Structures are given as C-alpha cells and as structure tokens.
Homo-oligomer: A and B are copies of this chain.
Amino acid sequence: MAVGEAGARKRSPGRRKKGAKASTADLLLDATSSLMVERNSADVTFADIAEHSGLNAALIRYHFGSKAGLFMALLERDAGGTFGNLEALVSADMPADQKLRHHVFGVIKTYWRYPYMNRLVAALSLESDSEAARFIAERFTLTLADAQRRILEQGEREGLFRPIDPMMFYFSVIGSCDHLFNARHSLKFAFGVEDIDDDLRCRYSEHVAGILLESVMV
C-alpha cells in the first residue's frame, strides 16, 4: 500500500526554498496537492494522502486536526503565499491600469499553478462548521477584493477609470480568471484542448486583462 519515504521524497517540493528539508507537514501538503492535480478534484481521503505520501494517516490529524484544517493550510500555502506580491503591487508607484493588468496575470498564474484551488474552496465552504467558510472569506476574498478596490480607486483618482462597483467587479474578475481552469472538461471535449500550456495561459491572461481594461478605462 504505502509507497514509502523514498517515494514521498521524489515529489515536487512545492514552494519550499531550494535545499530546505521538507517537514512532515510539507510532505503531507505536497501529497494532497499532487493528488488533487491528478484527480482534478478535492475529493481526497486521509487514506489516499497516507498512501500517496508514505506517511501514517494519524500524522495528518496530528498536524492539521481535520480535513478542513489540512485544506486551509494548503490554501494558505498556495494562495496565501502570493499575497505579499499583491500588497507590493497595490502600493507600488505605477499607474492603475498597469496594476490591474499585473493583477489579472497574477490571479491566473495562481489558478494555473494550483488548478484545484476552486474545488478546494468549494469543498471548504461546504464544511458543516462555518469557520472554514469564514476563513476563506476573510483571508482570501477580502484580501483580493480590498486590493482590487484600491486599484479601482487609484484609477478613478488618476482619471483613468470610470466608477465601478468593487463587489460586482470582484465576482466578474475572479469568475473570468477561474473558469478556464475550473472547466477543463469543457476545454477538452468542446475545444479539443488537453492541457493549459504557458502559451494558452498568457493568451487567456491578455484576453481577460484586455476585456477589463477596455471596460473600466474612461
């Protein structure tokens, strides 16, 4: 059953620094991440993760408490890790239209790297306790929505953008960025595209950023 410690070490080290030794918690997150990519689903059990990582399932409970805890830690690692860049972008000395363009490229790159992100968010938001849903909303939605609001306000001050409702804007931007990755079956069966390569990622980013800039600019 278990693939053994050696098998676990072969897997991608995710966002760890080169040469840093992976902790048990990191190995469990890596195994969860690669299983979700493989299955295109957040439907993974502790037993699956144990088998894939070669680690005992009890360690998952020890490190993360519950499946919700594990999922929150994964979301924090994957998306939370990009929020430093987002804050730097929003406070940079740069016109608002360029910021909006970079923001769209950044969001799409995150979905491209972690295509299970939305399944993860959906799975968390269905947890019976609402703590997980609140965590997502406060840590992720509000962080993104607040960054967008500040870019939109800057654009208005600079006379570049027309007034836009930031809540409406949030749902239309994130929905556009996400759907290519969320609906891979459509991409495959309706358009014959098996994989989202770097070229498609860039062209889609240009398309979404183009639509948004055309529409918000005065």
A-side residues, CB < 8 A to B, are 39-41, 43, 119, 121-122, 125-126, 130, 133-134, 136-138, 141-142, 145, 165, 167-169, 171-172, 174-180, 182-191, 193, 203-204, 207-208, 210-212, 214-216
Further 17 A-B residue pairs, CB within 8 A, beyond A141-B190, A171-B183: A40-B126, A122-B122, A122-B182, A133-B189, A136-B186, A137-B189, A137-B190, A141-B183, A145-B190, A167-B193, A168-B207, A172-B207, A172-B208, A172-B211, A174-B179, A175-B176, A178-B179
Cβ distance A132 to chain B, nearest Cβ, rounded Å: 9
Cross-interface CB contact of A190 among B142, B210, B216, cutoff 8 Å: B142
B residues less than 8 Å from A208 (CB atoms): 172
25 A/B residue pairs, CB under 8 Å, sorted by A: A39-B126, A43-B126, A121-B183, A122-B122, A125-B183, A133-B185, A133-B188, A133-B189, A136-B186, A137-B186, A137-B190, A141-B186, A171-B176, A171-B187, A172-B176, A172-B179, A172-B207, A172-B211, A175-B175, A175-B177, A175-B180, A175-B182, A211-B211, A211-B215, A215-B215
What distance in Å separates the Cβ of A68 from its nearest Cβ neighbour in chain B? 13
In the complex this chain forms, how many copies of it are found?
Answer: 2
Q: Are A189 and B40 in contact (CB under 8 A)?
A: no
Residue from B126, B180, B188 within 8 A of A137 (CB atoms): B188
Interface centre among A171, A193, A211, A215, by most chain B C-beta atoms within 10 angstroms, is A171
The answer, among B125, B176, B189, for a CB contact under 8 Å with A185, is B125
- Quick one: closest B residue to A174, CB to CB? B179
Closest chain B residue to A203, Cβ basis: B168
Return chain B residues, CB-CB under 8 Å to A214: 214-216
**Complex CA distance for A192 and B119, rounded to whole angstroms:** 23
